[in-house]
Chain A
């Protein structure tokens, strides 16, 4: 199938883009990397009257460190994030997640903002932002808003982005010293969306006790699931095998996944536990290694 006819604009500034989006409201769709939008257009799942291509807005792309956070422009290509030394150093969890998104051909075009705005329930990036408690920076006719993940992700492919608004940036806290991270997932094949994915981050003190931990899961519900109970098991003690086991159990208990063609709810629940244990174990190992995540 081919998309139904639509108008096309390619503004060169955020202001121009916002003006177009404001004028067309619900009739407009933003085109970022097109990796999700183009198939949806071709299947006629969306029928916008106008497509606003934001690829020509240089201000929307780039990775900066500001005040203890990493600020990543919405139009930054996934591949650029994957290959960024700054991201690897300052936000290793994000670096861990990147190679698991589709294939590198997809990541060459796909953007960080596009993935977050698309809000696929099995996507990696929403889980990373949720695990780290990042902020989504949104601009619209009423100015700029900064949203926490739980304020942004609503349901399957649904966010609180209003018509006329643009996601311009995502901000992630810089990892404290002695932090280890891991993103592990199970999918049907290489490059497929995750059946279950787990983002984990663990921070240790000098004595090796856990002073901070975070776990978020993808693929197990309409939005990323932050498994605070699971992370809490580790905090305050030395993360040993018993603690990791218990964290896995709690993560499995925290999720209510659906069944589909590719995996049953039982399988997803079981694997959520297994992967939480594994992700935390790897994060601990890396944290013990001085906080430098092992570059793959």
Chain B
């Protein structure tokens, strides 16, 4: 029986007390010895047919009677004040049903210092006005009729410029987001002074755009005082809360639905303005409104991975033992804090290696560009590029194998919190599997003197992905012995539906096709948190298992009466209940549910707590081989071997897909992707033609050297997250391989050909 634990977290400081409620389930975890039949098998996605036949309904596919189409007018200037705005001509255009702007929209607070439609605009793409019309074309025409008089204000673009003392302030308080976030253990400065070997280098990473195939957007409709939103979001409950709060509605009158999603990568983990704008337009027009961002708006105003500049110092003894790690990090937050940045670039410095003296200092910097938001392993991708490049530099300085150096500084505990990992050998396993599969160092070829040189490189990472409470699920058994699972989580394209269905089918002893899972709807689903942080499978999987276990218990109780046996003597597999030791005494699940109908068996399940005193983490290592053309600067990634410890693999196909997709994004981050902003603050490549993401032929051969080992201490399913981790080490592994190939170090992403050729020219000895 579930037991509620209520902890008081904070009190006595005048504010309200906070409580944390955790339900313990008492379920024994599936460990390495548990025989599972559905979990662990490579089922194709349960919604696959729907998607490939085009039937899957995304936020912008909802077709309602009287649907209007909305478009948003965006600031053409990086910093300006609206002196005057006149929408009369737009409103008069036939087919236009609602117009909103600073002058006419309710004064809804959106940012701490800004309104939904504000008179001050802080980046090219900031929202100025919105129109709902009979067609998108009419809406676009109407936007052209909106007359706006802008007063241009001084602006600043780029980290370095924004940090200069004379830089124009992005907001009244200046350009620093706040005081630096400082972390320290031991005394890094003293250790650096004493260290016989020191690496001291500065690395930069670029602003990268998520470019989800499905842009941000929603369809909104009102039924009296009830609002329904089909939103492309990673968190239906967070959107509901924000929209209800902003519009002054009780939460039960707001329903947020998200059936399918064409990618989020973190950019959809918060409620964005479009949801509220669509709701306001729909209310004003008295008709449903569809507001989907186009690719340009998507790439201007829906988030990005923040650019960083990181000064990294490593101190080590001659045998390669790290004595100090110090990082000073500046990151480009853009014009606003949207509330879902999550970019803790410092974190990886604090945890990846065993080191007694660590200091990190991190400052966010405002610039007049689109706001940053979480992007698949936010902060870690940026931090890993610098740290793992610096580790490679240290290995070279020590003339040590980069893998040996990493093993020498192996961390078995979370040094921030002083807790051992539940899988202290997790990263070691990844090193072993990746190195063995790749042939690390053993197949070392001389890189040659021709124009095409080959090199190999590696990098490691850690990450969260433990999942956490709370999160709930519910299981119902129908009269015909089929089962439905209901949860309020979302499948953001990763295959959550399939993975969770497998968990339920396993626990219920039913074949996969007898179980259907419903998700992504606040009206019908029980609470689940945002699908982010690689947490969904590890958060909701155990809740689904707990709900299924409760239903199973009731089912076996009913069956026990029918079979005249004790529930403990019953076995349930593939839809059949048998009495142990008496194979002829058996019933199909449907025989039981039919006989007890219309009674319905229902199970409630909650995510239990994470283990006390231990840290649950994911780990990984990647080895890559590249070929560098020293005459043209082209870098080709030939192959990548990726090994990641993510606990039990619930579905190998889904996990392989995450690895392949993440490595592909890593190749893009390392070699191609970069948002380019000109001196006037205009993004020059806010489209998929000029912003280069890898296409199928650019993807290297990727081998996933699986580490499929349950982490039974983590949760009752033994599975952890894999969504983000495989992106983290790809870029530094590529940069390290480039160094191996040609002997020059590129400390900036993307590793552009111009940079590479310039570095090679500087490096090449003058011909005698």
Question: Residues of A at under 8 Å CB distance from B?
Answer: 1-2, 103, 186, 188-192, 261-264, 267, 270-271, 274-275, 278
Interface string of B452-483 (1 = CB under 8 A from A): 00000000000000000000000000000000
Check: B107 CB closer than 8 A to any chain A CB: no
Whether B754 and A261, one on each chain, are in contact in the complex, defined by CB atoms closer than 8 angstroms, is no
Whether A267 and B754, one on each chain, are in contact in the complex, defined by CB atoms closer than 8 angstroms, is yes
Interface residues of B in 121-157 (CB under 8 A from A): 137, 140
Interface centre among B632, B672, B685 (most CB of A within 10 A): B632
Size of interface on B: residues with Cβ below 8 Å to A: 19
A261-B676, A261-B684, A274-B632 known; A190 vs B757 contact (CB < 8 Å) = no
User: Complex: how many Å from CA A278 to CA B634?
Assistant: 15
A261-B684, A267-B753 known; A191 vs B631 contact (CB < 8 Å) = no
Contacts of A189 in B (CB 8 A): 672, 692, 694-695, 697-698
A2-B137, A261-B684, A261-B690 known; A186 vs B757 contact (CB < 8 Å) = no
Contacts of A103 in B (CB 8 A): 695, 697
Contacts of B137 in A (CB 8 A): 1-2
Whether B757 and A267, one on each chain, are in contact in the complex, defined by CB atoms closer than 8 angstroms, is yes
Whether B632 and A191, one on each chain, are in contact in the complex, defined by CB atoms closer than 8 angstroms, is no
Interface residues of B in 596-635 (CB under 8 A from A): 631-634
Interface string of B674-694 (1 = CB under 8 A from A): 001000000011000010101
Complex A-B, nearest 3 residue pairs according to Cβ-Cβ distance, in ascending order = A190-B697, A274-B631, A186-B632
Whether A186 and B634, one on each chain, are in contact in the complex, defined by CB atoms closer than 8 angstroms, is yes
Whether B692 and A271, one on each chain, are in contact in the complex, defined by CB atoms closer than 8 angstroms, is no
User: Complex: how many Å from CA A267 to CA B137?
Assistant: 41
Whether A271 and B676, one on each chain, are in contact in the complex, defined by CB atoms closer than 8 angstroms, is no
CB of A74 to closest CB in B, whole Å: 26
User: Complex: how many Å from CA A96 to CA B631?
Assistant: 22
Whether A191 and B697, one on each chain, are in contact in the complex, defined by CB atoms closer than 8 angstroms, is yes
Interface string of B695-715 (1 = CB under 8 A from A): 101100000000000000000
User: Complex: how many Å from CA A189 to CA B694?
Assistant: 7
Whether B697 and A261, one on each chain, are in contact in the complex, defined by CB atoms closer than 8 angstroms, is no
| CB-CB nearest in chain B for A39 | B689
Whether A270 and B757, one on each chain, are in contact in the complex, defined by CB atoms closer than 8 angstroms, is yes
Whether A191 and B695, one on each chain, are in contact in the complex, defined by CB atoms closer than 8 angstroms, is yes
User: Complex: how many Å from CA A133 to CA B694?
Assistant: 36
Whether A271 and B632, one on each chain, are in contact in the complex, defined by CB atoms closer than 8 angstroms, is yes
A186-B634, A188-B672 known; A264 vs B694 contact (CB < 8 Å) = no
CB of A6 to closest CB in B, whole Å: 15
CB of B155 to closest CB in A, whole Å: 21
User: Complex: how many Å from CA A190 to CA B697?
Assistant: 6
Contacts of B676 in A (CB 8 A): 261
A contacts with B: majority SS:
loop
Interface string of B740-760 (1 = CB under 8 A from A): 000000000000011001000
CB of B601 to closest CB in A, whole Å: 51
Interface centre among A1, A192, A271 (most CB of B within 10 A): A271
User: Complex: how many Å from CA A129 to CA B684?
Assistant: 33
CB of A44 to closest CB in B, whole Å: 10
User: Complex: how many Å from CA A267 to CA B754?
Assistant: 7
User: Complex: how many Å from CA A1 to CA B71?
Assistant: 12
CB of A182 to closest CB in B, whole Å: 15
User: Complex: how many Å from CA A264 to CA B672?
Assistant: 15
| CB-CB nearest in chain B for A187 | B634
| CB-CB nearest in chain B for A273 | B631
Interface centre among A1, A261, A263, A264 (most CB of B within 10 A): A261
User: Complex: how many Å from CA A267 to CA B634?
Assistant: 12
CB of B33 to closest CB in A, whole Å: 47
Contacts of A278 in B (CB 8 A): 631
| CB-CB nearest in chain A for B631 | A274
Contacts of B684 in A (CB 8 A): 261
User: Complex: how many Å from CA A271 to CA B631?
Assistant: 7
Contacts of A267 in B (CB 8 A): 633, 753-754, 757
CB of A47 to closest CB in B, whole Å: 13
| CB-CB nearest in chain B for A184 | B632
| CB-CB nearest in chain A for B678 | A261
Contacts of A270 in B (CB 8 A): 757
A103-B697, A188-B692, A190-B695 known; A264 vs B754 contact (CB < 8 Å) = yes
Q: Can you list 27 A-B contacts (CB < 8 A)?
A: A1-B137, A1-B140, A2-B137, A103-B695, A186-B632, A186-B634, A188-B672, A188-B692, A189-B672, A189-B698, A190-B697, A190-B698, A191-B695, A192-B692, A261-B676, A261-B684, A261-B690, A262-B690, A263-B753, A264-B754, A267-B753, A270-B757, A271-B631, A271-B632, A274-B631, A274-B632, A278-B631
| CB-CB nearest in chain A for B294 | A1
Taking A190-B697, A191-B697, A274-B632 as given, write out 9 further A-B residue pairs in contact, using a Cβ cutoff of 8 Å, ordered by the A residue number: A103-B697, A189-B672, A189-B697, A190-B698, A192-B692, A264-B754, A267-B753, A267-B754, A270-B757
User: Complex: how many Å from CA A261 to CA B698?
Assistant: 20
| CB-CB nearest in chain B for A275 | B632
| CB-CB nearest in chain A for B634 | A186
Interface string of B561-587 (1 = CB under 8 A from A): 000000000000000000000000000
| CB-CB nearest in chain A for B674 | A261
Contacts of B757 in A (CB 8 A): 267, 270
| CB-CB nearest in chain A for B685 | A261
Contacts of B633 in A (CB 8 A): 267
Contacts of A192 in B (CB 8 A): 692
CB of B663 to closest CB in A, whole Å: 16
User: Complex: how many Å from CA A186 to CA B690?
Assistant: 16
CB of B216 to closest CB in A, whole Å: 18
CB of B252 to closest CB in A, whole Å: 39
Interface centre among B140, B685, B695, B753 (most CB of A within 10 A): B753
Contacts of B753 in A (CB 8 A): 263, 267
CB of B446 to closest CB in A, whole Å: 22
Contacts of A261 in B (CB 8 A): 676, 684-685, 690
CB of B670 to closest CB in A, whole Å: 13
CB of B689 to closest CB in A, whole Å: 9
Contacts of B634 in A (CB 8 A): 186
| CB-CB nearest in chain B for A193 | B689
| CB-CB nearest in chain A for B697 | A190
Contacts of B631 in A (CB 8 A): 271, 274, 278
Interface residues of B in 360-393 (CB under 8 A from A): none
CB of A151 to closest CB in B, whole Å: 31
Contacts of B754 in A (CB 8 A): 263-264, 267
User: Complex: how many Å from CA A266 to CA B126?
Assistant: 36
Contacts of A275 in B (CB 8 A): 632
Contacts of A262 in B (CB 8 A): 690
Interface centre among A188, A263, A264, A275 (most CB of B within 10 A): A188
User: Complex: how many Å from CA A48 to CA B140?
Assistant: 21
User: Complex: how many Å from CA A103 to CA B633?
Assistant: 23
| CB-CB nearest in chain B for A2 | B137
User: Complex: how many Å from CA A101 to CA B302?
Assistant: 33
Contacts of A271 in B (CB 8 A): 631-632
CB of A11 to closest CB in B, whole Å: 30
Contacts of B692 in A (CB 8 A): 188-189, 192
User: Complex: how many Å from CA A275 to CA B672?
Assistant: 21
Interface centre among B631, B672, B676, B692 (most CB of A within 10 A): B631
User: Complex: how many Å from CA A190 to CA B672?
Assistant: 12
| CB-CB nearest in chain A for B684 | A261
User: Complex: how many Å from CA A191 to CA B631?
Assistant: 21
CB of B112 to closest CB in A, whole Å: 35
Interface centre among A1, A192, A262, A264 (most CB of B within 10 A): A262
Contacts of B632 in A (CB 8 A): 186, 271, 274-275
Interface centre among A2, A189, A263, A278 (most CB of B within 10 A): A189
CB of B140 to closest CB in A, whole Å: 8
Contacts of A2 in B (CB 8 A): 137
CB of A97 to closest CB in B, whole Å: 17
User: Complex: how many Å from CA A278 to CA B137?
Assistant: 50
CB of A10 to closest CB in B, whole Å: 26
User: Complex: how many Å from CA A261 to CA B137?
Assistant: 30
User: Complex: how many Å from CA A190 to CA B137?
Assistant: 34
Contacts of A191 in B (CB 8 A): 695, 697
